[in-house]
Amino acid sequence: MQFNSIEFLFYFLPVFLAAYSFLPQRARSTVLVLGSLVYYAIASNGNYWWVLLLVGITVLAYLAGLTMIKSGKAGLLWAYLACLAAVLVFFKVYAGGRYLPSGMSFYLFQIAAYLIDIHQSRDDVQYLREVTFKCDIGKNFLSFASQIVMFPKLLSGPLMNPAELRKQHENAQLNGSNIRSGLQMLILGLGFKVLLANRLGGLWAQAGVTGYDSVSVPFAWVALIAYSMQLYFDFYGYSLMAMGLGKMMGYDLPRNFDSPYASKTVSEFYRRWHMTLGRWFRDYLYVPLGGNRNGTIKTIFNLAVVWLFTGLWHGVGGNYLIWAGFLFFLIANERLWLGKIMKKSRVICHIYVVFVILLSWVPFAVGDWTDMICFLGRLFGISGTTVTHLDFVYKGMEYLPMLIAGVVFATPAPRKLWEKIRDTFAADLIILGLFWVVVYYISTAAQDPFMYFQY
């Protein structure tokens, strides 16, 4: 059951919100935990052991936090983190990740942040310090569990600072303004997913159907642009939906995207793309390693470590390591010398960033090494024997409106305009119309899962 499904929009969500809204405040943690587990069970497509694994990991994480608080031993943190890493590596490596439970990377990272914050006393854990195994453990566990398994962010984030999430949990407010704002974000996210990401995915699929060695150079680039937009609007749409669902429950989940394609450097791009994952690696890996405080060579080494783990987080396949290595090379060169040159021309900066980011998506889009080399060759016209020269005309033109819309909505302008009108009656009419258009497309098309669920 995806967020972009009739079952979720017309059955699960109304029932959950009704129970969450009308039951007393003290019961909301229970409703959120049970509702999230039901959602995860339905979304697991019959892999109900995923739910048991999620519950088991959450219970062990809570007990681990209690044990660390009571003992104060630093070695316990490393033991717990090693266990979490072992679980993730097992599922990532075992059968090529085929049995990887949806969302595991995200909730394991959330738990790791919680344990690290306890160890470093960055989180206000007084509510846990007052708990012993003899009193109130049930109430506090439900509060903790609701923050870990919260269904809007369970499968693909956004990752959130544990202390901030706990504070919001204690002060979550249900009111008409939050519900209205949340519905707007939910429906806008649905629009990006259903009307842009899913349909642009069809253009990228055409390249695979034709064969990577047979597409023309123009069509190879058009297809790659379509893939980059599919990936962006798929994940951006999901993040907006998560924010909207959280808002309706009284939570302000953080933004995950900030118009990344408007960036002037690759470093800036990844400060704007999947922002919460980037902050996680910054706060829990890059800064503890020393960040940029110990000279250029150490900084470059720290960046290499961060990008190595970023690649491994996405998967153990060589394509992800190629992706991460390429981006590390670009960012390191920007820090060493290229950044100074790029500052001289704003236009050249933007062209450069879009060009290299498009190239970086090739290992994501084409996982097989042979196909990857073949497709890169077609991008630069140095391979292929049976090229269809006019394919970009009779295939690309069909998707031209979506490509134009994708380019426009990848800029900051539409969001800035929406922020000016979102409190007006006209905005409500736009949202209402968009909702029924989206429902029509959902009801007439095959279910298309979110791309980041595989991580």
In the chain (455 residues long), the average pLDDT of successive 10-residue segments reads: 89 93 84 94 88 93 84 79 88 71 89 85 48 46 87 89 76 84 95 93 86 85 94 95 94 93 93 94 91 88 94 85 94 84 81 94 88 89 69 77 93 93 92 93 74 62
According to DSSP, residue 215 is labeled B
Nearest Cα neighbor of 154 from 97, 85, 106, 88 is: 106
pTM of full prediction above 0.95: no
How far is CA 282 from each of CA 113, 263, 270, 289, 340, rounded to the nearest angstrom?
Answer: 12, 19, 11, 10, 23
230, containing H or E segment = helix 217-248
- Beta-carbon contacts of 357 under 8 Å, excluding residues fewer than 6 positions away, are 228, 261, 266, 269
Q: If you write DSSP's letter for every residue of 232-277 in order, what string do you get?
A: HHHHHHHHHHHHHHHHHTT--PPPS-S-GGG-SSHHHHHHHSSHHH
Rounded to an integer, what distance in angstroms lies between the CA atom of residue 224 and that of residue 362?
8
According to DSSP, residue 213 is labeled T
Nearest Cα neighbor of 176 from 245, 246, 243, 250 is: 250
Rounded to an integer, what distance in angstroms lies between the CA atom of residue 351 and that of residue 293?
31
Q: If you write DSSP's letter for every residue of 387-453 in order, what string do you get?
A: -BTTHHHHTTGGGHHHHHHHHHHTSSHHHHHHHHHTTSHHHHHHHHHHHHHHHHHHHHS-----GGG
Rounded to an integer, what distance in angstroms lies between the CA atom of residue 262 and that of residue 269?
8
